[in-house]
Amino acid sequence: MSALVILFVLTIGALLQAVIPAVLSLGQAKVPALAAVVVYYALVRDRRTLLSVAIVAGIVQDGMGLIPFGYSSVAFVVLGLMIARFKELVFVHEVLTHMLFGLLMAAGATGVLFVLLTSTDLVEMSFSQAFHKMIGSALLGAIATPFIFQGCARLDRLMGLVESTDSTWQEVP
């Protein structure tokens, strides 16, 4: 059941990312819906599930953006593992936490992709253009992640995959 929920969430995230147009004034940044899904799984689920989601989300994002397969996966895995390290130290239920990690994930993934793509001469982009896009992605990530996080959490609770108390979420065995 968990795999079907993950597949559904990734499909919805991919659809949102594909359908919502890029914002020109934010460096042509797109809403980082797949990155927000990775943030959810980094904060709520175990490491193995996080790695699976990060790899698949990265491959889907690369396929939609005509990026060599695996580049976004590298960014999502590294950043997801960094976020997971802090999940015991933050308030997982708080919107501010979702906004902060959404901001960091979106900006970080954009930065990692810039480095990977420019180092292999696959894209010509100045640092100022990349920085502008990182800021735009960060802003969109901070706005979108709380909504996507709440949707994922609601779906997991409805399907009986996590139990929530006032202070923690625990995966149902």
Name the nearest CA neighbour of 139 among 31, 13, 19, 36: 31
pLDDT digits (tens, 9 = 90+) for 19-47: 999 999 999 999 999 999 999 999 999 99
pLDDT the model gives residue 167: 46
Q: Residue 166 — very low, low, confident or very high, per pLDDT cuts 50/70/90?
A: very low
Instruction: List the chain domain ranges.
Output: 2-171
DSSP per-residue codes, 89-111: TS-TT-HHHHHHHHHHHHHHHHH
Q: Which run of H or of E encompasses 164?
A: strand 162-164
DSSP 8-class letter at 22 = P
**Which tokens go with 170?**
């625990």
Answer yes or no: CATH 1.10.1760 is held by domain 2-171: yes
pLDDT of residue 49: 95
State how far the Cα of 41 lies from the Cα of 38, in Å rounded to an integer: 5
The pLDDT value given to residue 164:
63
Q: Once rounded to an integer, what is the mean pLDDT over residues 142-171?
A: 82
Q: What is the mean pLDDT of the chain?
A: 92
pLDDT of res. 172:
56
3-state secondary structure of 162: strand
The whole-angstrom separation of Cα 95 and Cα 100 is: 9
Q: What pLDDT score was predicted for residue 160?
A: 86
Is residue 113's pLDDT more than 70? yes
65-87 burial, b at 16+ Cβ within 10 Å, e below that, comes to eebeeebbbbbbbebbeebbeeb
Strand partners, 163: 170
Encode pLDDT of 55-109 as tens digits: 999 999 999 988 999 999 999 999 999 999 999 999 988 999 999 999 999 999 9
Three-class DSSP category at 170: strand
- Residue predicted with more confidence, 31 or 164: 31
Q: Tell me what percent of the residues of the chain surpass a pLDDT of 70.
A: 94
